[in-house]
Amino acid sequence: MARNKFDVDEELESPFNPQHFKRMLTYIAPYRNRIIITVILMLVASGANLIGPFLIKQAIDTEIPDGDVSGLTLLAGIYLAALIVTGICMKFRIRIMSEIGQSIIKAIRKDLFENLQKLSFSFYDSRPHGKILVRVVNYVNSLSDLLSNGIINLITDLFSIAVIVGFMLAIDVKLTLYAMAGFPVLAGIIFIIKNAQRRAWQKLSNKQSNLNAYIHESINGIKITQAFVREEENKQIFEEVSDSYRGSWMKAVRIQFLLWPSIENISVLTVSLVYIVGISSIANGGVTVGSLVAFIGYIWMFWAPLANIGNFYNAIINAMAYLERIFETIDEKPEVVSDPNAAELKPIKGKVTFDDVTFAYEEGSPILKNVSIDVKPGETVALVGATGSGKTTIVSLLSRFYNVTDGQIKIDGVDISTVTIPSLRKQMGIMLQDPFIFSGTIMDNIRYGRLDATDEEVIEAAKTVQAHDFISSLKDGYETEVNERGTRLSSGQRQLISFARALLADPKILVLDEATSSIDTETELAMQKGMEHLLEGRTSFIIAHRLSTIQNADKILFIDNGKIIEEGTHTELLARKGPYYKLYRSQSHSLAAG
């Protein structure tokens, strides 16, 4: 599993793919009708706009020379009416398109977020979180204008071009062909620019992602930074990251800005060509003066929508860099998925069986080797062993955070890979080694374990884990606002909250991964007393280093290097005088030595 850090660009795994564009259209498709309405509105508006020049011509040619004031008033009136129509069309266009644009954004963001919920730990473990964040929020935002106004402009511009070319053809076919001579040149230039631009924007989006990842990590690690007086060093790194973002931005715009001048220069060359050809054919009598004048007028008009399309194209290319990232994330396959035929796991009793389980995060270096465990409902199992021996991995497999490489895990005789994941996890209460606190009140944080729990139940759970006293001593009690970094809560307090959360879930299987490592012995003992009756009827897995925490367990598993090397009750294991005995001696010795 290759991990990514802030200054490493993420390789995009799929090549450029027109499918992305098609796929984007599928987000737009539901709004097809409304888009058609808007296009019609736009056509009406441009129709109303076209009346303008005609009215002026009419006034200058007829009404004014004739001194016809009432006729002039009429023309002015018509013009005003046309303006009002244009205004109304514009109003509806803004209304409809912003609605559509925002709805599409919302839908893409939702798909992205939804898939993120399905992705396994390894996805999150293998890249800085800032890089994920920027995809969901910033990348999606940068699509919004493109998807709303961009599309409409494209359609109206294409329509204008068609009309203009139609007029040109009607005037003179040969001149039209000359006028189109610039087209292949433009296409060639666009092709060259496109490739360079796509690469430049991909690079840019990488640099942006790196920058954000670094900022994100700097914020989260601020305490360490300040404790180690790393501020200046970090500033330098930040400047480098920020500078390489600036550099790739400038490179990208240098390419992007080339498009417009190319179009203008090609257009002026085409116009010149048409002048030369046109004027010589006037001499031959092929073209009339009037039609040449009109024709030139149309060529100028022709390039404006073309330039707009060019800009749209620019925007699409830029957006592609983002779209690729977004779709890549939406398509990311979670490693752990419910089997398509998976059944709901029925309410369980809590019998747990590990049948010859082997597991490796990375092929070839197994973390667990042939682990077999049998736990009866209601039993308490303690896992002991050195750090990194695989204790956390065992309980992670039980919740199916990872799939076993080999062997089977069964709950009540049912292989957990054959049941739906939510139905499995909802029956387990897990307290992770790293207690995470969400921003919100303490009440909300505990209730996270069971959303429909009443306040009383939350308080009951807090009391059981001995968290009630400290919570009530806070000024706002259970309504105290806390956040991710755990404002004002000590690690032990966070563990207590996270413990209460697990307990509130009222699970049949309770997993406590170093639930009390930062909790003082007094509290722990009080907690144990309160929990005794709570643990009744629940199967529980306890990982701890303080042997005092675990010696009452029904079964102690001594894990070493991914294997269970000893198994039994505290007394049995002591009698065996094996590794557990040694561990126990060293602990008691270290205490007794004082």
Partner 1 sequence: MGSIRWIWGYIRNYKRRFFLGLFMALVVAGLNMVNPWLSGRIIDEVIYGKQENLLLPFLGVMIGITLIRTVVRYSYQLVFETVSQNSIFKIRENLYDRLQHLDFSFYDKTKTGDIMARMTGDMEAVRHFTAWTIYMIFENATILLLAVGFMFYIHPPLALCMLAVAPAIGFFAYRLANTVRPTFSAIREQFSRLNSVVQENISGNRVVKAFAREDYEMEKFSVQNEAFKQRSLDSARVWERFLPVLDSLAGTLTVVMIFAGGIMVINGSLTFGELVTFNSLIWALNNPMRMAGWLINDVQRFIASAEKIEDLLRVEPCIKNLPNSKKIDELKGVVEFNSVGFSYGDEKVLKNISFRAKPGETVGIIGPTGAGKSTLINLLSRFYDTDTGEVRVDGINVKQWEIQKLRSNMATVMQDIFLFSDTIEGNIAYGVPDATVEEVIDAAKKAEAHEFILEMPEQYDTIVGERGVGLSGGQRQRIALARALLKDPSILILDDTTSSVDMETELKIQKTLKSILMEKTCFIIAHRISSVKEADLILVMEDGKIIEQGTHSELLAKKGYYHHVYQNQFGNFENQHSQEGVS
Site residues for partner 1, 416-445, by CB under 8 A, read 421-422, 424-426, 428, 430, 432-434, 436, 438-439
Closest separation in Å from C-beta 137 to partner 1:
5
Nearer of residues 29 and 592 to partner 1, judged by Cβ = 592
Site residues for partner 1, 80-99, by CB under 8 A, read 80, 83-84, 86-88, 90-91, 94-95, 98-99
Nearer of residues 50 and 162 to partner 1, judged by Cβ = 50
In contact, 80 and 39? CB cutoff 8 Å: no
Q: Report which secondary-structure segment, H or E, holds 371.
A: strand 368-375
Nearer of residues 100 and 381 to partner 1, judged by Cβ = 100
DSSP state of 270: H
Pick from 128, 554, 149, 527: which is nearest to 383 by CA?
A: 554
Size of the site for partner 1 (CB under 8 A): 182
Site for partner 1 contains 285 (CB under 8 A):
no
CA pair distance 111, 88, nearest whole angstrom:
35
CA pair distance 124, 392, nearest whole angstrom:
17
Site for partner 1 contains 276 (CB under 8 A):
yes
CA pair distance 448, 499, nearest whole angstrom:
11
Closest separation in Å from C-beta 397 to partner 1:
13
The number of residues in the chain equals: 594
CA pair distance 465, 476, nearest whole angstrom:
20
Site residues for partner 1, 523-562, by CB under 8 A, read 523, 525, 545-548, 551
Nearer of residues 246 and 346 to partner 1, judged by Cβ = 246
**336, burial (CB in 10 Å: exposed 0-12, middle 13-18, buried 19+):** middle
Closest separation in Å from C-beta 530 to partner 1:
15
Site residues for partner 1, 210-239, by CB under 8 A, read 212-213, 215-231, 233-235, 238-239
Site residues for partner 1, 289-308, by CB under 8 A, read 289, 292-293, 296
Site residues for partner 1, 476-505, by CB under 8 A, read 483-493, 495-496, 498, 501, 505
- Pick from 15, 18, 184, 261: which binds partner 1 (CB under 8 A)? 261
Nearer of residues 217 and 554 to partner 1, judged by Cβ = 217
Which tokens belong to 157? 């511009």
Closest separation in Å from C-beta 487 to partner 1:
4
Pick from 313, 331, 316: which is nearest to 14 by CA?
A: 331
- Angle at 426 (CA atoms; ends 404, 128), nearest 5 degrees: 60
Closest separation in Å from C-beta 428 to partner 1:
8
CA pair distance 363, 199, nearest whole angstrom:
34
DSSP state of 296: H
Closest separation in Å from C-beta 214 to partner 1:
9
Which tokens belong to 439? 């921003």
Nearer of residues 53 and 188 to partner 1, judged by Cβ = 53
Q: Using DSSP, state whether 566 is helix, strand or coil.
A: strand
Site for partner 1 contains 34 (CB under 8 A):
no
Helices (H), 491-578: 491-504, 521-535, 547-550, 570-576
CA pair distance 524, 518, nearest whole angstrom:
10
Which tokens belong to 373? 């465990």
Nearer of residues 17 and 126 to partner 1, judged by Cβ = 126
Nearer of residues 202 and 493 to partner 1, judged by Cβ = 493
Nearer of residues 22 and 223 to partner 1, judged by Cβ = 223
Site for partner 1 contains 54 (CB under 8 A):
no
Q: Could you tell me which stretch among 71-79, 166-174, 183-191, 350-358 binds partner 1 (CB under 8 A)? A: 71-79
Give 547's contacts (C-beta < 8 A, 6+ positions apart). 384, 583, 584, 587
Q: Could you tell me which stretch among 177-185, 339-347, 370-378, 571-579 binds partner 1 (CB under 8 A)? A: 571-579
Q: Could you tell me which stretch among 152-160, 313-321, 361-369, 375-383 binds partner 1 (CB under 8 A)? A: 361-369
Nearer of residues 162 and 222 to partner 1, judged by Cβ = 222
- Pick from 134, 323, 352, 462: which binds partner 1 (CB under 8 A)? 134
Q: Using DSSP, state whether 180 is helix, strand or coil.
A: coil
CA pair distance 420, 336, nearest whole angstrom:
11
Closest separation in Å from C-beta 159 to partner 1:
20
Helices (H), 59-128: 64-66, 69-118, 121-125
Nearer of residues 242 and 358 to partner 1, judged by Cβ = 242
CA pair distance 491, 85, nearest whole angstrom:
66
Site for partner 1 contains 30 (CB under 8 A):
no
CA pair distance 317, 81, nearest whole angstrom:
40
Closest separation in Å from C-beta 467 to partner 1:
9
Site residues for partner 1, 237-256, by CB under 8 A, read 238-239, 242-243, 246, 249-250, 253-254
Q: Which backbone phi and psi does 546 adopt, to 5 degrees?
A: -75, 115
Nearer of residues 370 and 420 to partner 1, judged by Cβ = 420
Pick from 323, 8, 329: which is nearest to 139 by CA?
A: 323
Closest separation in Å from C-beta 237 to partner 1:
9
Closest separation in Å from C-beta 340 to partner 1:
18
HSE value, Cβ hemisphere, 13 Å, CA-based, for 298: 24
Give 369's contacts (C-beta < 8 A, 6+ positions apart). 358, 562, 563
Q: Name 564's bridge partners.
A: 559
Nearer of residues 178 and 275 to partner 1, judged by Cβ = 275
Site residues for partner 1, 312-351, by CB under 8 A, read none
Q: At what angle do helices 151-171 and 289-331 cross, to 10 degrees?
A: 150
Nearer of residues 61 and 356 to partner 1, judged by Cβ = 61
Residue 97-126 contact track with partner 1, rule CB under 8 A, x = bound: -xx--xx-xx--xx--xx-xxx--x--xxx
Q: Could you tell me which stretch among 21-29, 33-41, 70-78, 165-173 binds partner 1 (CB under 8 A)? A: 70-78
Nearer of residues 310 and 385 to partner 1, judged by Cβ = 385
CA pair distance 253, 249, nearest whole angstrom:
6
Site residues for partner 1, 145-164, by CB under 8 A, read none
CA pair distance 95, 176, nearest whole angstrom:
38
